[in-house]
Every structure is written in structure tokens, then in C-alpha cells.
Structure 1
Amino acid sequence: MTETRVRTVQQLFDLSGKTALITGGSRGLGLQMAEALGEAGARLVITARKEGELQQACAHLREAGIQVTPMVTDLAREEEVLSLAERALETLGQVDILVNNAGATWGGAAEDYPLEGWDKVMTLNLRHLFLLTREIGRRSMIPRRYGRVVNIASNAALGGNREFMQAVGYNTSKGAVVTFTRALAAEWGAYNITVNAIGPGVFPSKMSRYLTERHGVDDLAARVPLNQVGDEEGLKGAVLLFASDAGKHTTGQFLLVDGGASAMIAG
């Protein structure tokens, strides 16, 4: 009888020899997660719309000894989503880890919410997230019976907020990402592919600038049980868990990383 080798914790989190595609990886949460996966040993492809920001991010990652390839991509355009899947597979050979981080938001009261805003967030946050995942799944992960999909949702997926930011399209899209995550996990578990979602709270970033400028970081932090907003390390542990064999028996889950904000009862 062959004895099963039990790996160390460090070995379970090690991504040496793995590849990862991270959308929206040039700044903010995407860059933070790229750092985490790269530092764990993965070879990366990161995407963004703006070439200058993408090149800066790659220079930063390479200084840390991370192997990374930039791919300028506008994920709001279907043809560019399909092209990204093709180019990433050509560059990496295979995609072991897909982090769907790119997204958009649009604020406004529901009764005045424009279809332009609704369509923008639904297309980028949901439709094309599905399209990229489908392509990487059927072309790389399913044939190899291995994969890790990490979808970046938001604690806004849990409902709405009348006080801070009315964004019915954004909140709805992130709620749909969570349901998509669970549905895909149920289907793709048979292929040894895990599918999980992370729900960040407020992290200072370009996307959250409206909140931080209107209410102030200190005021926002005071409303969170941990009395702080997210920082440049807050998502690293979560994404590494879902991307590595440390999380091999975890799928279909939605992990909130929001300082405890979602644990509070409103009212």
C-alpha cells in the first residue's frame, strides 16, 4: 500500500509551476492579488485598459522577482475578451488560476438610473466575466481536470445602501457574481475545478474614491467593527487560499473581507 504524503502548510500554499491570469491587475486590489500569487511562485499575465499603468505595475512586480506579462485589454469589448483568452493561453501554455477582478461601478438613484450605466456594469462585471471564464475553463482547465477560479465580488452583493452610495446596477451585478460562482462550482467540481468569490469592503482605490472623498476614510473606518478600511495586504491571504491547494476542498464559497462591516445589523 502506498503511503499518502502529507504536505506542509508552506507546500500547500506554494504556487511554483502554476500560472495565473488576473484581470484588472495594474493597480489597487488587482495589483495586490498579483503580488500575492507572484510571490507564491506563479507566473502571471495581468490585464488593464491603460498601457502606462500596466507597464508600471509590471515593473513593480518584476522588481520583486515575479514573472509577469502585460496584456492591454478592454474587457468591455467582447472581441477583446476572446482575444485575451487566446493570448493568455499562447503565452502561459495553460491557465491554472483565473482571477476575475476587472469591474466597473455606476452610482445613481434607482428611479433615475440610466440604462447606459446598467448595461456598462452588467456587461463588464457579469457578462464578460462569464465569457472569459467559459473560454479559459473549456480550453484549459476542463481538459486538464484542474483549475482555480476566483471571482471578485463585493460586500455590496448582500444588498443596497441608501446612506452611502446608491448603485443598484453595481450591487445587482455583484450579487449575480456570487450566484454565478456557486452555480459554476456545482458544475465544475466534477473536473477538479474550484470556484470561489471574495467580497471586499471599502479599500481605498480609484473605484471607491467617491466614498472616501465624500465621507472620509476615518468616518468609514469608524463604521466597521475592526475600525479600519482595507489596506494593501488585506486580500492577499484570501486570494492565495482560493488559488492554492490549501483551499482544494473549498468551492462555491463567498468570503467577505470587509473588516466585519457585513456582520453589523443596520438600523
Structure 2
Amino acid sequence: MSLTDKNDMARTHEGRTVMITGGSSGLGALFARALAAAGARVVVAARRVDRLESLVEEIRSNGGEALAVPLDVRDEASVVAAFDMAEAHFGLVDTVIANAGVNSSGMAVDLPIEDFDAIQSVNCRGVFLTVREGGKRLLASDGMAQRGRIVVLASVGGLNALHGLVAYCASKASAVMLARAFAKEWVKAGISVNALCPGYMLTDINEEWFESASGKRMIERLPRSRLMPADAILPNVLHLTSDAAAYVTGSVIAIDDAQML
């Protein structure tokens, strides 16, 4: 489907420049395609630049505007450089999706402290550095702060303890509170900051496990005995990154198909 087709998705994001961390695959790539289709200039950022370039080529071939920038969210200098490159190409980044995240499962007593630290460095420190840099530039802009839209991709694991995911849950709880704290700090400036907390979704990362016997048993135990598709959260992402979200900030939105009931 061409981005230039008049029957495509409404161009609700015309004039917006969106930075998406963790944009090389999975949800990040999904968001990039949808936002480009909605008219946004899309900056996809991640460590795997080769995959970013392939995504950018796809978006451009469909009539969209996109840019790939290398980014390690754990590194402050890398975060600053990524925003610098985005601004040099498209101008001020007014919309940020802090999507980069990692996980490592296992019981707490068996979890190496190096794994715990690695998860916090991306899911907590990385969110802080990304959101802070985006907000700092919006605050310094000439009257553009009220266009600011920031979405933190957290998880229902940030609201509920999930078995065997102690480090991940701790990091996502931190991400939720970071979103709320940034929202409170910047509320007078008009920047909207919100957290999305998806439940279990089928993605290219977990598809193999959910096809296993253990994965299938877990799906059967869910209230609706199904996983959500990855695009189940797209309507919320599109809303929270649009002009229509001017009155939504500090919200923590769980989208989990009743999985946590």
C-alpha cells in the first residue's frame, strides 16, 4: 500500500518529526511504518544500522520521509548525537517514542547481576536519557514545546509482578514512573508524556517460544486464551503522538486483552 494513496491512513501526523528508539525491528519498525503512513517524518534509531537502512528504504519507496541514525540509548553522548543528526536533517524532533528495551528471563536467585544491570541500563537509564534529551530540546525551542508528544513503551510487567521476570518488571516499573515524573515536571510547558503498558503480544522475537509446548500452555492460561497481535497498540500510539493528545499527559495505559485480570 503506497503512502501516497489517497485511501491510505489519514494524514494525522503531517508536520511532525518522530524519533523512535529500538526502531530496527519489532514494534519500533511497526510504529515507523504507521507513523510514516500518517504523514510524519520518521527518525528510526538503533544499534543495528543495517536493518535501519533497509526500513528507511522501504518507507521512502512508499513515498514517506525517513532517516536512520545510530543510537545506543545507554550512552548519553550517543543519544545527543542521534538528536543532533535528526535535527540537522528534519529540524526539531517534536515527538519521541522511547521503545528500546531488552529482557532476560530467569528466577532471581539465578540471575547474574550483570544481566540485571544490562536490563536496567537500557529499560531505565535508556528511557531517562532519551526522554530527557527530547524534552530538553522542546523546552529550548521557540514556542514549540506544546507540540511535544513523548510515549514511553513500558509493559504490564511494570504494573504487575510477572513470574521469572524480576529484573524486567523492575525496569518497566521504573519506566512507568519516569513517564509520570517527566509529565509532572513539564506539564506547564505543554509537553505530553505518557506510558503504554502492553501485555503479551506475538512478535518476531517471541514467536518461536510461543510455538513451543510451554508457550502454548501459557497462552491457554490467559483469560481469552490468545496473544495480542503487535498492531493491537497502534491506535493508542497514533493517538498519543498526535495533536489530539494535547489533554493527555501523565497517563499509564494498560493494553493487555484482560491478561492481568
Output the TM-score relative to the length of structure 2.
0.87
> Residue 106 of structure 1: CA displacement?
1.4
Name which structure has the greater RCO, CA cutoff 8 Å, separation 6+: 1
Question: In the alignment, what sits opposite 1:79?
Answer: 77
Partner residue in 1 for 2:155: 154
Paired with 1:67 and 1:32, the residues of 2 have a C-alpha distance of 15
Give the counterpart letter for 2:28 in structure 1. Answer: G
What is the CA–CA distance in structure 1 between the aligned matches of 2:168 and 2:73, rounded to whole Å?
16
Instruction: Give the distance between the partners of 1:190 and 1:40, measured in 2 at CA.
Output: 28
User: Within 2, Cα distance between the matches of 1:230 and 1:59?
Assistant: 28
Q: Which moved more, 1:74-83 or 1:88-97?
A: 74-83
Once the two structures are superposed, residues 79-118 of structure 1 have per-residue CA deviations (whole angstroms, 9 ceiling, x without a partner) of 3122212222222210110000011111221122211111
Q: Which residue of structure 2 lines up, in the alignment, with residue 145 of structure 1?
A: 145
Identity percentage of aligned residues: 32
1:220 Cα deviation (Å)? 4.1
Structure-2 change in CA distance of 1:261 and 1:116 (3 Å):
same
CA contact (8 A) 1:96 1:141 kept: no
1:198 and 2:203 matched? no
Listed as ranges, the gaps of 5+ residues in structure 1 are 1-9
Q: Distance in 1 between matches of 2:97 and 2:139?
A: 13
- Render the CA deviation track for 1:19-56: whole Å, top value 9, x for unaligned: 10001112111111112221111101001211222122
- Write the distance in 1 (CA, Å) between the matches of 2:171 and 2:44: 23
What is the distance in 2 between the residues matched to 1:255 and 1:222?
Answer: 24
Local SS of the residue matching 2:231: coil
Partner of 1:14: 12
Alpha-carbon distance between aligned partners in 2 of 1:189 and 1:211, rounded to the nearest angstrom: 41
Change (3 A) 1:142 1:226: farther
Deviation beyond 6 Å, 4+ runs, structure 1:
none
1:259 CA displacement: 1.5
Whole-Å separation in 2 of the counterparts to 1:233 and 1:209: 15
Distance 1:148 1:141 in 2: 12
Amino acid at match of 1:95: V
The question of whether the paired residues in 2 share the 8 Å contact of 1:145 and 1:192 is answered with yes
- Matched letter for residue 108 of structure 1: G
Q: CA 1:244/1:141 → structure 2, altered by over 3 Å: closer, same or farther? A: farther
Cα pair 1:223 1:261 within 8 Å, conserved: no
Q: Of 88, 91, 94, which residue of structure 2 is paired with 1:90?
A: 88
Work out which of the residue numbers 220, 227, 236 in structure 2 matches 1:229: 227
Query: How many residues were matched structurally?
Result: 250
Structure 2 runs not aligned, ≥5 long: 1-8
Moved more, 204-213 or 89-98: 204-213
Residue deviations 1:200-233 (CA, integer Å, cap 9, x gap)? 1122235435752545665444333444312242
SS at match of 1:196: strand
The verdict on how the C-alpha distance between 1:42 and 1:212 changes in structure 2, with shifts beyond 3 A counting, is same
Report matched runs for 1:38-49 at 5 Å: 38-49=36-47
Cα 1:168–1:207 change in 2 (3 A) is farther
Q: Which of the numbers 243, 247, 250 marks the counterpart of 2:248?
A: 250
The 3 A distance-change label for structure 1 pair 64 and 257 is: farther
Q: CA deviation at 1:140?
A: 2.7
Kindly indicate whether the alpha-carbon contact (under 8 Å) linking 1:29 and 1:235 is maintained by their aligned counterparts in 2.
no
What's the secondary structure of 1:134's corresponding residue? helix
TM-score by length of 1: 0.85
Secondary structure at 1:197's aligned position in 2? Answer: strand
Q: Which residue in the other structure is 1:6 paired with?
A: none
Q: Does the 8 Å CA contact 1:142/1:191 hold for their aligned counterparts?
A: no
SS at match of 1:132: helix
Deviation at 1:141, TM superposition (A): 4.4
Shift of residue 188, structure 1, vs aligned partner: 0.7
